Chains A and B, each alone.
Chain A
Amino acid sequence: MTSKRGNNLASGSDQKRARKAKDITLTKANIQKLEAETKKSPKYFNNIARLLQHLNNLIYEIEGNESLDDEKLESMQSLVASLTRIFTWLLSKKQLQLRGSDTKQQQIVSGWLQAKYSEYFDSIFKIWEYSNNKDFVAQFQIYGLSSVMNIVKAESKYMAPGEDQPFFATNTYDRVVRALIISGDKQNIRGSDYGIDNPLILEFYKQYFNAFWDVKYYFFRQLKMSLAQVLKDREDKFDMVLANLITLVKISEMYPRMDADSYTDTTLVQDVPQKVSDLSTFRSNFEKSWIILLQSKELSVDQYKAILFILHKRVIPFMNNPTKLMDFLTDSYNLGIEGRDISLSIVALNGLWELIKKFNLDYPDFYTKLYCILTPELLHLNIRSRFLRMLDLFMTSTHLSATIVASFIKRLSQLALRSPAPGIIAIIPFVYNLLKRHPTCMLLIHNIEASKEKYYVDPFNPDEKDPAKTNALDSSLWELETMMNHYHPQVASLAKILSQPFSKNNYNIEDFLDWSYQRLLDGELKKKVRSEIDLEFETWDRLYGEGGFMEDYQY
């Protein structure tokens, strides 16, 4: 083995030549022959270069191509497979290692081999970068993943610094993590929850990330170290990184909180360093990765929402010090209120409450901000029940002054005036409970003093931001009285509870929060015919036009 040969093979001209002759695809038998030769003697190590060359050619071909014929696909797969086998073999022979005892020539050979080793990874990562909308690309990416992970396993086994010393191939794995985290196609990011339909990541999750603890541990360890660098180098890939990470974290918990020890026992590499099972290190890695991610760039509202949605279930429990998220949460909460996108605030509120509850976070002007969330769109949102649940909790405080509670009640009832029926169904028992809990607020529906005044003017100031200053207590809930005449009979009778004696202790809010038009309609359609179906006795000569049922319209 000479340096000349090495140079020869590595030269760019050679690559070009080979690329020109790309039509000549190696058959499976050829590949196997080359592989067998390589293993026979070091003098055939050049075969590695040939195989890599072919692989690269094929990879170039994939880009932009709609499809690949089966022959090439098969050849590509066997190329990857045989290269994987060769490198595993080399690893087991310790050929990729530089040892002090080596001769200079041997050192050159291992150096060359290491270069090829890294080239092999580059090739596979190259495919990972491609959009995996096409099936065969995705298939190939997954194939590459299993090869790479096998190599990581082999390297951890054979490349340990000393015999029988626990070792995890962190350097190689670091490259894998970097490549993985930016893989995928931007188009596949779902708008709703910012997850990504990335088969590679999903496969990684299923086969490795969730199955082996060390993979997960080192994933966040490497991420902590290299995420900042990755984001700096590939700024355009930020969305991918976020989406991939959300996808990985979202599906399940990091580790079961009950029986974490046995969970950390299953590892990919047989002999892993002891520190892997140290959960607090893991938590700090996990936490740092997230903080780096959240601080690196201005997030969009969608991204905020997506992160907030998983935050209190999937992220906060696995952090050492969740208070570090406080800035993020308060930022998003305020952003939602100032930017008038209250759904963001509502989502942030959940995480914020978690921190307030567990870590005694002091939040100034809490109720003022809460009051600001009661915007007209609140009751039209799907997550209104989520908010009302929280609000119910906050309103249980007995230290609230009646003026504040009255402001909330009055505001909610104003919203009901333009709300869809399910929203009103949620509001009325809510108001009832508040009235029952804070009897002073009964003035809102029964105010004898004020009704005796000769010139009564409604003092409520709807534009006031501070719930303590709205003068709501001297106002009345005419809006809810109007609802007693609601078109839906059940809503109307629900509204009438405010005019009946308050004999019930409280309503179970949960029974009323999750109504929808669909549920209302289902209930109606299930009703059985008991009496005659009454018809309109008025008659119209026509449907449309003059004297018709709908006068102002025509066909």
Chain B
Amino acid sequence: MAGSQLKRLKARLKEAGLTGQTNKKRKGKKHSRKTPNESRRADRQRLVQEIRDEFNPFDLKMTRGKRADAKSKNLTVGKPGISKQRGEERRKADWKERLARKNKVGGIIDKRFGEKNKSMTSEEKMLERFTREKLAHSSKYSLTDMDSDDDDDNDTLTHYGQTLGFKEKDHGSSDDDADEDEGFFQKKNGDDDANEAEEPGQGSKKKTKAEVMKEVIAKSKFYKHLRQEKNAKVASAVSELDDDFNDIMTDLRHTNEKSKKKEPPVKKTETDLAYDKKVLEVKMSEKAAPAERTKTLEEIAQEKKENLERLEQQRLKRMQGQVEDQEPGADDLDDDFWEGDVDAGDGEVIVAENAQNEDAETSTEENQLAGTTMIGGKILRLNTSKNLDISIICPKSLQEFEGLIESKSLDDVIVIVRTVFKKYQPKLAAGNKEKIGVFTGVLLDYLFKLADEGFEDNENKESYVHIMEFLSKLLRDLAEKYPEKMLEFYRIRLSSMQTRIEAKDFESYPKRSDLMAFTLIGRTFSTSDMYHLVVIPALIVMCESLEFLEAKNYITHLFAGIYICDLLLQYERVAKRVIPEVVSFLEKAILVLVQEPNQIPDYKSLGTDDRCPQSTKFTLAASTELPTELHPLSLSKWDDESVDQRLALLLKVICTLDRYVSIIYKECSSFIEITTPFVILLKHMLKYHALNLKVKSLLMKIENVRRIAKDERKPLLLQHHRPLAIPTFAPKFEENYNPDKKYYDPNRTRQEINKLRHQLKEERKQDMRALRREAEFEGREQVDAKKKAAAEYHAKMARIMDQVQTEEGAAKNEYEREKKKRRKI
């Protein structure tokens, strides 16, 4: 459209017929003349408004949504100009008020409704007061809403002694009240659904859910009340009957007593009393309780089997490293363990056997103390006091213990140990448990000492074996009672072993006690566990020993190494884990012992060293033959360097290797790599021991497995993982798109949270805006105030200057005049 704004306005006004020739004849006869003046004026008003809006496009603001075309909704229309102006006015009013109150401290604002208004009667005032009060509490959810149904009505308002209720009965009476009041009551009554529902006059308004619920509750209350009343009636009838029954009974009793003659109570004789007592005793005794049914053999076997299965399950779990946190179980003090049969094994038998020849050695004093009596040269021990030697105290250290068993035979030591255990049962005194715990450590040390010492001669051997077996079994059992103590003892032992290894002292390590310690740990603890506080450290130390041992220089080292290899197999018999150190040591051991090691053909493919192996001081002569049968190796002969012993050791290595192959290596994917050196060595050995079945069969076995492994082995496929998803940034396509729906999150709570978050953000924005406006306004006002003050000041100064100048001028004029005057004179 051409032309300026003004021209366009003029044109538009003319078009609307508001300017120019007003009573110009309209061509169309449609124009009705009937329209009254009034409506025409309104028309005109509307027209002007339209035009105004048209020419002021910024007075209106529409929110144009992104999907405005998809929506058929009314657009929100805002009038920024007007709302701005309104806000400005409000702010101005606030500002003025604040300004007025500025620098004025305190003061009470009378917010009452006109107590001092003289035009109101006291009645009116009271009414007004009450209305206000009511209004203040009229919020729908107010706690103090006194008009709600389930109110206790304890503090009802009264007026002239009458309750001010607002039930329907009051309705009529309050009709004559002011309009305002009526509206108020109407509103309140609107809430009272029950009444409304009963009033047919109110029309058939549809009941809300709340109303229905209320109705149901009211009904059920009513029926409940009816039921209660009925019950009460029945109850009162029954009690009446009961009262009557008492009377009848007294009558009946009366007749009975008469018929029966009263007899004096029979005095109980001594025997009767004794009898009663006996009966009571028997009744109270444990035997009176019915014994549990004796289980059949099958049942016992079944139970055992189940128990074993459970334990096996747990073991498997631990083997896979699934640690379950169990609370250490509380042990019962009344265990059979403490009751003398400290040793259920063969220890008992030995003691009985040896009891007779023991007498000569033990001192008579001790005999008496122990409660033995001599009858015909034979010694009878009283069973009860046999072990309760008062003089024995629980030893706290190895020295004390050695003092105790000094000059006693090994068999006596067993007796003493059992005595200590019997005497210091935890149930006998507080602190006994701790004492025995310490004693356990002493026993462990003693066992290690014995292991180091060995037995002196063959006569001694039997009792030595007995005590070793006794102690090792005992210590294994004690581990159940004192697992943490045992852990501590073994930890100390293991770290001392490692200190010796680290010191590279080939003499002080290994000792036989070290081997004993490893063996005990293996026997006591669950060696198949993936994580174990004792077993893993023991494994580490054992493997370190295998690395450390100088098998080619010390026969004891060779023996210890072979022993440890065997023991490790025992450790891993269930878990079947691989121990590289063993592979290495077995090869080394064979190389140390085997005949003519420098003749080995493919020595370069050996696993431990690719230099040509040299003969050592333990190398067997070419003519020697391996024994066909494996005899148990004796720990006492561990430093034996004889040819027989060396042959036995070699055979032992072969057997151990055999077991390793069939238990552990067979299942390894790298079986070929593990066994390559062994094949070379075995082939070499076969030259000297062609007839030995063990060597031959082992070689055959390994070759067979190797052949299969070679055929079946496939390259690794370790990286078969699910492919990782690439994160996508394309928006998700909604199947059921709905423009009204804002959130598509299936998670309800998350959606709520998002909604709240959004709201919070909006509110925050609004508040920030409001604050900003406020601050701007304030700033503006302050600047205005300052300008005003400055203008006032300048005006004042100008005024003063004017005044002064006027006065000055006047004075000057006067002076001039005077001067003229004088000159004239």
Q: Which residues of A contact B (CB under 8 A)?
A: 340, 375-377, 380, 414, 416-421, 424, 442-448, 450-451, 455-458, 462-463, 474-479, 481-483, 485-489, 492, 498-502, 517-518, 520-521, 524-525, 527, 529-537, 539-545, 549-555
Contact = CB atoms under 8 A, between A and B. Distances in A.
Given A476-B716, A489-B531, A535-B524, A517 B544 contact: yes
B248 to A, nearest CB: 70
17 contacts: A340-B611, A418-B607, A444-B716, A446-B718, A456-B715, A478-B670, A499-B718, A499-B719, A520-B540, A521-B544, A527-B533, A532-B329, A532-B483, A542-B469, A543-B472, A549-B570, A553-B633
Interface in B574-608: 576-581, 583-584, 587, 604-608
B632 A553 contact: yes
Interface SS of chain B: helix, strand, loop or mixed? helix
A443 B314 CA distance: 39
Contact of B326 (A478, A532, A540, A555): A532
Interface in B247-295: none
B566 interface: yes
B484 interface: yes
Given A489-B531, A521-B498, A544 B715 contact: no
Given A418-B608, A450-B714, A542-B469, 13 more contacts: A417-B607, A476-B716, A481-B716, A486-B578, A492-B577, A525-B495, A529-B533, A530-B323, A530-B325, A531-B323, A549-B522, A553-B635, A555-B635
Contacts of B396: none
Interface stretch (B379-387, B460-468, B736-744): B460-468
Given A418-B607, A552-B566, A450 B577 contact: no
A425 to B, nearest CB: 12
Contact of B537 (A443, A521, A533, A549): A521
B405 interface: no
B669 A481 contact: yes
Nearest to B311: A537
B655 interface: yes
Interface of B: 308, 311, 314-315, 318, 321, 323-329, 345, 454-455, 461, 464-465, 468-469, 472-473, 476, 479-480, 483-484, 486-487, 491, 494-495, 498, 501-502, 519, 522-527, 529-534, 536-537, 539-541, 543-544, 547, 563, 566-567, 570, 572, 576-581, 583-584, 587, 604-611, 630, 632-636, 652, 655, 668-670, 672-674, 710-711, 713-721, 724
Contact of A549 (B519, B532, B578, B717): B519
Looking at A442, A445, A481, A542, the one whose CB has the most chain B CB atoms below 10 A away is: A542
Contacts of B537: 521, 524-525
Contacts of B540: 421, 488, 517, 520-521, 524
A498 B480 CA distance: 40
A488 B536 contact: yes
Given A499-B718, A529-B487, A479 B576 contact: no
B483 A535 contact: yes
B570 A550 contact: yes
B522 to A, nearest CB: 7
Contacts, number: 248
Contacts of A474: 715
A535 B580 contact: no
A443 B717 CA distance: 9
B608 A376 contact: yes
B495 A521 contact: yes
B326 A543 contact: no
Given A530-B325, A536-B524, A479 B717 contact: no
Given A375-B610, A376-B607, A552-B630, A478 B635 contact: no
Given A377-B609, A417-B583, A487-B579, A458 B530 contact: no
Contact of A456 (B476, B579, B713): B713
A446 B634 contact: no
Contact of B718 (A376, A445, A450): A445
Contacts of A532: 326-329, 483
Contacts of B465: 555
A541 B611 CA distance: 46
Nearest to A416: B580
A553 B577 CA distance: 23
A458 B710 contact: yes
Contact of B632 (A539, A543, A552): A552
Nearest to B542: A487
Nearest to B310: A537
A543 B719 contact: no
